[in-house]
Amino acid sequence: MSYTESIGSRTYRFADLKTLLAKASPQRSGDQLASIAAASEEERVAAKMALAEVPLRTFLNEPLIPYETDEVTRLIIDDHSPAAFAEISHLTVGDFRNWLLSTTSDTDALTRITEGLTPEMVAAVSKLMRNQDLITAARKRPVITRFRNTVGLPGRMSVRLQPNHPTDDVKGIAASMLDGLMYGCGDALIGINPASDNLAAITKLLQMIDDFRQRYQVPTQSCVLTHVTSTIAAMEKGAPVDLVFQSIAGTEKANASFGISLALLQEAYEAGLSLQRGTVGSNLMYFETGQGSALSADAHFGVDQQTCEARAYAVARKFKPFLVNTVVGFIGPEYLYDGKQITRAGLEDHFCGKLLGVPMGCDICYTNHAEADQDDMDNLLTLLGVAGINFIMGVPGADDVMLNYQSTSFHDALYVRDVLGLRRAPEFEEWLESMQIIDARGALIGASARQPLLEGARDWMGIA
């Protein structure tokens, strides 16, 4: 089905729904690279006007990628709930925007419709929204998950402690881990990107974190962010695996480029459940995504990168994850050129994920060859804090020395918690207070009070 819209004497024609969505997207370098972006701001406005009139039902009848050839499309269609959709089934995309922003559409209303939404619907409505609209609607849709603690409660923001090391040196990782804990970070998880997929090294890192966690009774979870097949192998060897990690994308072909399928993710999910390591809940999958992954794998099929990204969230929610985050600026300026595009993408991803019932976090980041800097990251961090982000990254000095990119630091987490009054996961906060790391208000206690724990942990780990 084609779509048309006139502005003055000029009429714009859009061949199909995926073309309309691409032309309506805010400007970004990835869509320009794929030659699917609007050729002018006037064409972009025309596409938005036409998109606003599209009934939401259209997205159920006009798949962007054929049902017969893509298992992600099949998942989206087969798992769609007509009962949950009924409340909004009469709306157009423009009407849906108005409905989301109305004062009567509260948390209960947004939760009721979750299973009735497809990624394409939420991607479409996001293209009609200003940044403040994305923040307002996402804030109304908390998504709460549990493993050893509870993440996503309103008024709280968690941090993934990310103590990466370029050679997987256990003492180096342990030192960064202790540093982060002394700043009150780590309630989302302690998560290491390994320098290699060596099973012995992965197991050694998992064992180190788990020994520390048990010795000091830390109510958090660990993860070594290796390929899901390596995690399955580690579980088979008896390694203490908490969260099961995998990078995912929004098309079958893009996921195949990662070496995964829905069946493999199901196998990993069931293996993780069988370990029964959660204490307050059983959400155990951890997924990372990022706009541009399908395009970089030549697996986007003409679909704009933001809509492809939203489709990845349908994959994520299938497996009831504990954490999902978009690594928003990591792929590079070929996909998100500058700070403005990175900021917009982060807000879009968070909004789309939350509407689909996914526990969204964000690696607020950029590469050194992008037209962005730490001030841009400060801005996005603050906006996502207001929007109700589940978690962010805590990287020593905001500079990941293994992955070679810029993210957010332990100090950045202190900043946003302070200015917005955000607390940590309740179980983790109680532990920090019992360890005299924070006071009852959540503020850090002086270094002298923390010194006994720090020195004891250093001695135990053999860190000078």
**Looking at the predicted structure, is the pLDDT value of residue 160 above 90?**
yes
pLDDT for residue 67: 98
Q: Which residue is associated with the tokens 């999958």?
A: 285
Distance between CA atoms of 413 and 454, rounded to whole angstroms?
A: 20
Once rounded to an integer, what is the mean pLDDT over residues 115-132?
Answer: 98
**Looking at the predicted structure, is the pLDDT value of residue 210 above 90?**
yes
Which residue did the predictor score with more confidence, 149 or 404? Answer: 149
Q: What angle do CA 37, 43, 47 make, to 5 degrees?
A: 85
pLDDT for residue 464: 58
pLDDT for residue 76: 98
Kindly indicate the confidence band of residue 463, based on its pLDDT and cuts at 50, 70 and 90: low
List the one residue out of 316, 188, 155 whose CA is nearest residue 246. 316
pLDDT tens digits, one per residue of 33-62: 999 999 999 999 999 999 999 999 999 999
Kindly indicate the confidence band of residue 456, based on its pLDDT and cuts at 50, 70 and 90: confident
**Looking at the predicted structure, is the pLDDT value of residue 204 above 80?**
yes
Which residue did the predictor score with more confidence, 134 or 449? Answer: 134
pLDDT for residue 455: 75
Kindly report the average pLDDT of the chain as a whole number.
Answer: 96
Distance between CA atoms of 271 and 293, rounded to whole angstroms?
A: 27
Once rounded to an integer, what is the mean pLDDT over residues 277-288?
Answer: 98
Is 350:111 a contact under the CB 8 Å cutoff?
no
Which residue did the predictor score with more confidence, 456 or 85? Answer: 85
pLDDT tens digits, one per residue of 16-31: 999 999 999 999 999 9
**Looking at the predicted structure, is the pLDDT value of residue 448 above 80?**
no
**Looking at the predicted structure, is the pLDDT value of residue 451 above 80?**
no
Once rounded to an integer, what is the mean pLDDT over residues 211-231?
Answer: 97
Residue type, 242: D
Distance between CA atoms of 426 and 442, rounded to whole angstroms?
A: 10
pLDDT for residue 279: 98
pLDDT for residue 1: 84
**Looking at the predicted structure, is the pLDDT value of residue 453 above 90?**
no
Once rounded to an integer, what is the mean pLDDT over residues 118-123?
Answer: 98
Once rounded to an integer, what is the mean pLDDT over residues 110-128?
Answer: 98
Q: Concatenate the DSSP letters of all residues of 240-307 into one string.
A: ---SEEEE--SSHHHHHHTT--HHHHHHHHHHHHHH---SS----EEEEE-TTHHHHTT--TT--HHH
Q: List CB contacts of 21: < 8 A, sequence separation 6 or more.
A: 51, 64, 120, 123, 124, 127, 303, 304, 307
pLDDT for residue 124: 98
**Looking at the predicted structure, is the pLDDT value of residue 459 above 90?**
no
pLDDT for residue 398: 93
